[in-house]
Amino acid sequence: MTHSQNKKPYPTPLTIPPLSTQHTHTFIILHGRGSNAERFGRELLSSANLAQRLPTVKFVFPTARKRRSTALKRIPINQWFDNYSLDDPNVRPDLQIDGLMETAEFLRELISQEARVFENQASDESGYRKIVLGGLSQGCAAGIFTLLGGLGERGDERVGAFFGMSGWLPFERQLGDILGSDVGGSETDGLEQDDLLSGDIQNLSMQDSDSENEDDESEEESDSEDDEEQPTIDDNTFSDTECDPFAPAADEDDDFDPFQLDTSKSPGVSKDQITRTTDAINHIRDILDLPPISTPVSEEGSTTGQTASSQTTKVGIPSLQTPVFLGHGCEDPKVSVHLGEKMARLLADQMQMNVTWKAYEGLGHWYRIPNEIDDIIRFLQEKVDIQ
């Protein structure tokens, strides 16, 4: 794509092959801002004992390329995209576009490569369904935005599942406006945990825990493109990571339309909502420099004399059929739990996605071992049949 020409390539991902001779799934997991694959990936694997618990899974940890941070006086750090504020990510959304576009292009190709590994297996299921995409913090944000933009050459593929930890949804306010939702306000609006989340969301109970130490990881960054002396900064201002993860805690026809409405679920989405959802997805695709998609509207259960407004339709965009797990610490000082909850509400209520949301009491900006990791594994075992 023209926007990505002459850009520095992404580092080679850290790849951990399955311990078993059988390879059933591949997890692609994105680190937070200011970290990298080696630090985040190896720490997650060792602390959560993931390779031993999931011996048929191949783990792939990409590293974000260096980008200059506007909030840090143009200091280059590993980040999937630039953003101005984590207090309210809706401020200066223009800064996010280039990074999101480049990262999504990189991830689409990486996911496609990993999906092709499964093509020779005797299965009618797309290799994409064997892929699980996940991320922490900004990695969650970049991952969910890429997912919503669509995968595959025509955007007609989806991964088996997505999980995000301590993340948010980029352009949430703009998407909320398009969808006509009431969750697009400021982060300080404040959402109560007792508010029931409708749609397909599963609102799991919050976890109690003891207090924990939460010191941010720091990493000295350099950039060969800039020989200027860089100002000293507090690592806490940009690192999305923490140093203590052990806190208690068949062949298609040429005219096949992949976006035709899914009739496998019970109806209940209005034509207007179908249009709004399609518009929201196309807004994401426009940001990612992808062509728009169209979703034909078909009517269900219609009878003679029934008006269009009384008929029901369904959303059939493939990416929206992806089951999603979102976890967040209630005491997160960097990315407010309200931002995570707003993302969960918008995906479930407005986009009709199957979302599992869980907030963890006493947890800051990190993941909880064993609680959160156990919840994610149980979720994936149910949704993508990981043994």
Residue 207 one-letter amino acid? Q
- Tens-digit pLDDT profile for residues 339-367: 999 999 999 999 999 999 999 999 999 99
Q: Is the pLDDT of residue 122 over 80?
A: no
227 has a pLDDT exceeding 70: no
What is the per-residue burial (b if ≥16 Cβ within 10 Å, else e) of 230-263?
beeeeeeebbbbbeebebebeeeeeeeebbebee
Whether 17 contacts 58, CB under 8 Å: yes
Angstrom distance (rounded) from CA 21 to CA 80: 33
Task: Report whether pLDDT(300) > 50.
Answer: no
Which residue(s) pair with 151 in the sheet?
157
Burial category of 169 from C-beta neighbours within 10 Å (exposed 0-12, middle 13-18, buried 19 and up): buried
pLDDT tens for 161-202 read 999 999 999 999 999 999 996 554 444 343 334 333 433 456
Q: What is the pLDDT of residue 91?
A: 86
282 CB-side CA count, 13 A = 13
Q: What domains sit in the chain, N to C, each tagged with a CATH number? A: 2-250+318-383 (3.40.50.1820)
What are the tens digits of pLDDT across the range 363-375? 999 999 999 999 9
Is residue 223 scored above 60 in pLDDT?
Answer: no
Q: 347 with 355: CB under 8 angstroms?
A: yes
Tokens of 42: 């190896």
pLDDT tier at 110, thresholds 50, 70, 90: very high
